[in-house]
Structure 1
Amino acid sequence: MLIAMMSNSFQKTHDDSEREWKFHRTQLWLKFIRNEINRPPPMNLLPRWKQVKRCYRFIAKMFRSVFSCCRSTDDEISDFSEEALRRRSQANNQRRRTGIEQTIGAGTFLEGETRYSKVLRLVVLRYVKKKVLHNEMVI
Structure 2
Amino acid sequence: MIPLQDLPANRSPASLTAGSFLEPGAATAWMRMSVPLVAGEEITPLRWVLTAADSGNGVSVALDFHRYVFINADFIVGLYRSPVGEWVCLDARSVVDGAGIGLAGTVLHDERGQLARRLTPCTWSCAAVTACGATSAHR
Indicate the structure with greater helix content: 1
In the superposition, the TM-score normalised over structure 2's length comes to 0.23
In the superposition, the TM-score normalised over structure 1's length comes to 0.23
The answer to which structure, 1 or 2, has the higher relative contact order (CA under 8 A, 6+ apart) is 2
